[in-house]
Amino acid sequence: MSMSIALAGKGGTGKTTTAGFLVKYLLKNGKMPVLAVDADSNVNFNEVLGLEVTDTIGQAREEMKKGDVPPGMTKDVFISMRLEQAVIESGDVDLVVMGQPEGSGCYCAANTLLTNFLERLTDNYPYIVMDNEAGMEHISRLTTKNIDVLLIVTDASRRGLQAAIRIHELAGSLNIGVKRSCIVINQAKGDPPEEVLDMIKTAGIEYIGSIPADDLVYEFDFTGRPTIEMPEDSVAVQAAYRAFDTFMQDG
């Protein structure tokens, strides 16, 4: 049985960096192999993981849409083959990238492909970490469903918290199979004030901790170094590990 964790939150809260810390945590604790999923059309999960994107589900979708199917091959066989090719293998961590479609029009088809493909991949990976796009659209389109932990990343701002609460409420109202909804405060400048904790408690979300602002995160990001390679004694890494412990002890 796979354990799936999906990350969500307002843009700019460090969601993708937190997803990278989670993958780092899983590898450190021998919880592998991990399937990392970049479900954001603005692809950058690979940079955090230090992997090169060679293919995307969006590209496969565009090829099928344009009719680039070899003679004698059905569309179903073609898309199945292309989706398998879109898995970027790197040992203990494999990556699947949704990517940005080239053409105009609705992006729902790519989301449907990703969702169906993930269902087929589930049995091959004991741990799945999905980095979703900012906001709530991926929730309403049901890209994120049947997950063990919805990990909502926010900062301590009122707008960030309100967005986190709306994501939690929307996930609950859609009945999409989220077993546990947690929130972590990222880029924290200290312990969250009581009014912040009260907002989270009133919303019925499980607060699992905060990750302090760390200049090392900015340094790695600015110089293009994968943040998954940050040292274990980083204050941000250590705080993230403590937060993840709260939902991974039984994982």
* Sequence spans of domains, the chain: 3-248
Query: Can you name the CATH fold of 3-248?
Result: Rossmann fold (3.40.50)
* pLDDT of amino acid 228: 95
How is the chain split among helix, strand and coil, in percent rounded to 5? 45, 20, 35
Handedness of CA 113, 86, 42, 200 (dihedral sign): positive
pTM for the complete prediction?
0.89
Q: Is the peptide bond before 231 cis (omega within 30 degrees of 0)?
A: no
Non-local (6+) Cβ contacts of 233 within 8 A are none
pLDDT means per 10 residues, the chain with 251 residues, are 88 92 97 90 89 86 79 82 86 86 56 70 87 73 75 91 92 85 94 92 95 95 94 97 90 50
